[in-house]
């Protein structure tokens, strides 16, 4: 029984390798794929399986379940992904995808999660952004479908009357007049899908931006479980805590104790509560099954939590072992409980299995040879020549 893992990376990921090692315990085989490995004409995939500590090419039927990365749903893969939607069960079929703006709108109407909502508007004009800035003091301008902090700006103003603005992007800061800001808006924002949000001041004692990543995965019971909660710090950055642009991570408890002192325990408890409740709400909003989520939480100076965004393709570099363990259990749950497949019917052909089979075959061969020699010996003893030579064998024994 095969399980597929599909990404855009030609080289199998570390999480795929770890999960492949664990898959034998659950009696299924993991096959690593990219969209290019799908053979629609023959209903096959030409992927790779992990054997004897190396990835080996293997052609097989379409796996009944494929854990697919969101980035595989690119325009160039449209035909392939439409084919797979019909042929197999995908970890995420990308239906009802949430934008940052829609997520804030929906959560605002839910009393259980409205406290997490950050005041947000679509960025439609420079005048509207300035009015929003005057209301909240400092704002963030970012693309609705942005990833990894690309295109995220922070805008502030020391005095409403002087019309001088401070614009931050990654590690850069610059001062703009109102006319210069209007020119910036026309060049970078106008006609594109951007939103403007109240800036949540999540800053370390050294002044670096930080946020909290709550990484959740489905477990072996099909329930959401926290894989890891950790702090991401944008060292030397002016806008966001993007480790891809030069930052680091920190243990959540140690960071909260050092930064919020007496408040740290209540903040941590709120983070744990979010990890146990918000994923179900996201799944409900999207009205589809999801397997993995990264919840990016901002923590204000007073300890209030705000939801920056939800990432349905979260990075796993900081928690590869935790993710591999949870996913290997979840794959088994999907096969047995959702797809009703019997994993006990046939064991995966592991290295130990192959060695055991060789020993069994060798033992069977030796047993056949032994039976043959017994038969020949029996025939010899009952033969006339054996009986005639009996006296000679007795004399030989006496001489010896």
Q: What digits encode the pLDDT tens for the residues 64-115?
A: 999 999 999 999 999 999 999 999 999 999 999 988 888 989 999 999 999 9
- Residues facing 225 on adjacent strands: 217
Which of these ranges, 29-43, 63-77, 170-184, has the smallest mean pLDDT? 170-184
Residue 129 makes CB contacts below 8 A (sequence gap 6+) with 123, 139, 141, 155, 185, 196
Which pLDDT belongs to residue 385? 59
Which pLDDT belongs to residue 266? 96
Question: Predicted confidence band at 171 (pLDDT cuts at 50, 70, 90)?
Answer: confident
Is 314 exposed, middle or buried, given 0-12, 13-18 or 19+ CB atoms closer than 10 A?
buried
Question: Predicted confidence band at 137 (pLDDT cuts at 50, 70, 90)?
Answer: confident
Beta strand pairing status for 224-233 and 248-251?
Answer: antiparallel
Which pLDDT belongs to residue 8? 94
> CA torsion 116→119→124→127, rounded to 10°?
-160
**What are the structure tokens assigned to 207, written together?**
């002044």
Which is more confident, 350 or 21? Answer: 21
Closest-CA residue to 144 (of 87, 111, 203, 192): 192
Question: Predicted confidence band at 384 (pLDDT cuts at 50, 70, 90)?
Answer: low
Beta strand pairing status for 2-6 and 65-68?
Answer: parallel
Q: At what angle do helices 100-108 and 264-286 cross, to 10 degrees?
A: 100
Closest-CA residue to 302 (of 197, 201, 212): 201
Question: Predicted confidence band at 128 (pLDDT cuts at 50, 70, 90)?
Answer: very high
Dihedral sign, CA of 56, 59, 60, 62? Answer: positive
Residue 9 C-beta-side C-alpha neighbours within 13 Å: 10
Tell me the mean pLDDT in the region 113-118: 94
Which pLDDT belongs to residue 234? 80
Question: Predicted confidence band at 344 (pLDDT cuts at 50, 70, 90)?
Answer: confident
How many CB atoms sit inside 10 A of residue 241's CB?
A: 27
Which of these ranges, 18-22, 182-186, 234-238, has the smallest mean pLDDT? 234-238
Question: Predicted confidence band at 400 (pLDDT cuts at 50, 70, 90)?
Answer: very low
- Residues facing 167 on adjacent strands: 155, 174
Mean pLDDT of all residues belonging to the chain: 87
Which pLDDT belongs to residue 218? 97
**What are the structure tokens assigned to 320, written together?**
């590869």
H or E element that contains 309: strand 305-311
Question: Predicted confidence band at 264 (pLDDT cuts at 50, 70, 90)?
Answer: very high
Which of these ranges, 42-51, 138-147, 180-189, has the smallest mean pLDDT? 138-147
pLDDT at residue 151 greater than cutoff 90? no
Report the C-alpha gap between 243 and 245 in whole angstroms: 5
Is 214 exposed, middle or buried, given 0-12, 13-18 or 19+ CB atoms closer than 10 A?
buried
pLDDT at residue 240 greater than cutoff 70? no
Residue 189 DSSP code: I
Helices (H) and strands (E) in the chain, counts: 11, 18
Tell me the mean pLDDT in the region 227-237: 84
Closest-CA residue to 195 (of 138, 119, 135, 127): 119
Please state the pTM of the whole predicted model.
0.77
Tell me the mean pLDDT in the region 344-355: 57
């Amino acid at each position: 029984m095969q399980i597929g893992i599909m990404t855009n990376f030609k080289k199998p990921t570390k999480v795929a390798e770890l999960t492949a090692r664990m898959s034998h315990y659950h009696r299924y085989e993991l096959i690593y794929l990219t969209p290019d490995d799908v053979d629609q004409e023959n209903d096959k995939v030409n992927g790779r399986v992990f054997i004897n500590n190396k990835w080996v090419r293997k052609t097989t039927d379409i796996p009944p379940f494929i854990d697919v990365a969101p980035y595989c749903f690119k325009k160039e893969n449209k035909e392939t992904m439409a084919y797979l939607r019909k042929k197999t069960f995908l970890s995420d079929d990308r239906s009802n995808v949430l934008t940052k703006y829609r997520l804030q709108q929906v959560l605002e109407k839910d009393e259980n999660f409205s406290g997490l909502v950050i005041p947000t508007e679509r960025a439609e004009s420079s005048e509207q952004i300035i009015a929003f800035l005057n209301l909240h003091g400092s704002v963030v301008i970012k693309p609705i479908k942005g990833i990894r902090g690309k295109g995220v700006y922070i805008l502030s103003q020391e005095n409403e009357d002087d019309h001088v603005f401070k614009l931050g992007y990654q590690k850069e800061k610059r001062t703009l007049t109102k006319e210069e800001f209007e020119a910036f808006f026309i060049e970078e924002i106008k006609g594109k899908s951007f939103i403007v949000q109240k800036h949540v001041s999540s800053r370390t004692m050294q002044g670096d931006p930080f946020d909290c990543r709550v990484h959740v995965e489905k477990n072996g019971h099909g329930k959401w479980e926290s894989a890891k909660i950790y702090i991401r710090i944008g060292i030397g950055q002016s806008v966001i805590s993007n480790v891809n642009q030069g930052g680091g991570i920190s243990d959540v408890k140690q960071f909260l104790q050092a930064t919020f002192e007496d408040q740290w325990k209540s903040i941590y408890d709120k983070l744990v509560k979010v990890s146990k409740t918000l994923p179900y709400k996201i799944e409900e909003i999207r009205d589809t099954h999801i397997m993995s989520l990264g919840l990016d939480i901002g923590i204000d100076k007073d300890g209030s939590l705000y939801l920056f965004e939800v990432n349905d393709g979260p990075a796993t570099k900081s928690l590869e072992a935790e993710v591999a363990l949870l996913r290997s259990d979840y794959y088994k749950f999907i096969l047995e409980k959702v797809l009703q497949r019997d994993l006990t019917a046939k064991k995966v052909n592991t290295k130990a299995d192959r060695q055991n089979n060789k020993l069994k075959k060798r033992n069977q061969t030796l047993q056949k040879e032994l039976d043959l020699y017994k038969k020949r010996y029996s025939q010899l003893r009952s033969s006339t020549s054996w009986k005639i030579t009996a006296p000679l064998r007795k004399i030989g024994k006496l001489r010896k």
